């Protein structure tokens, strides 16, 4: 099965030529899993784990959105990469994992607001110091939170809040 679903795969494409044109023009590309490394976005063509990945070409016109429905992994990305893809209408909605990447405070807040299941940061850093209490309202609904982030200020007062949180949580500042 394919990891990319576009207008060509839609059963609605066969209804009429007019409906087909609407799908081609406005339906977003839907992708199962994607990864971001060194300012480039990669996608697996098939769902099987050992299948190769290839760079995802994005249109320069920004007319069609790309929706990643399962997970997005940032690996060694620099601050500003997330903003670049957001401006190109790339959205995701379920899980986010980051390793060795750097983010601006606005990008961290964006990730916190738009991730629906789990947020994992390993050996990541922020360009400016951010208080944990500033992002807590955005991430408290998640099932799993793992934050190993430089420049994230986790104060002592947050322990009381986390005492009643029924999710997997860990935070570490290095």
For 64-90, how does the pLDDT look when each residue is reduced to its tens digit (9 = 90+)? 777 777 777 888 888 888 888 888 788
Q: Over pLDDT 90: what percentage of the chain?
A: 5
DSSP state, residue 65: -
**What pLDDT does residue 3 have?**
60
Contacting residues for 134 by C-beta, under 8 A, at least 6 apart: 109
**Is the model's pTM score more than 0.95?**
no
For 129-142, how does the pLDDT look when each residue is reduced to its tens digit (9 = 90+)? 988 888 888 888 88
Least confident range from 35-49, 87-101, 128-142, 147-161: namely 35-49
Residue 87, token pair as written in the block:
């401006």
DSSP state, residue 61: T
The crossing angle, in degrees rounded to 10, of helices 105-114 and 132-139 is 20
| Placement of tokens 């490394």 in the chain | 37
**What pLDDT does residue 126 have?**
92
């Amino acid at each position: 099965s394919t990891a990319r679903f576009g207008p060509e795969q839609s059963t609605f494409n066969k209804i009429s030529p007019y409906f087909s044109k609407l799908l081609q023009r406005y339906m977003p590309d839907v992708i199962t899993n994607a990864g971001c490394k060194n300012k480039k976005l990669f996608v697996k063509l098939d769902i099987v784990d050992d299948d190769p990945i290839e760079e995802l070409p994005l249109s320069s016109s920004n007319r069609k959105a790309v929706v990643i429905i399962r997970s997005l992994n940032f690996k060694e990305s620099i601050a500003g990469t997330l903003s670049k893809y957001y401006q190109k209408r790339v959205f995701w909605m379920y899980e986010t994992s980051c390793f060795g990447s750097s983010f601006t405070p606005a990008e961290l807040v964006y990730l916190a607001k738009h991730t629906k299941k789990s947020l994992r940061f390993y050996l990541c850093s922020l360009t400016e110091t951010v208080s944990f209490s500033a992002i807590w309202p955005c991430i408290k609904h998640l099932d799993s939170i793992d934050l190993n982030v430089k420049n994230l200020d986790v104060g002592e007062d947050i322990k009381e809040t986390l005492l009643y949180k029924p999710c997997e949580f860990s935070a570490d500042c290095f």
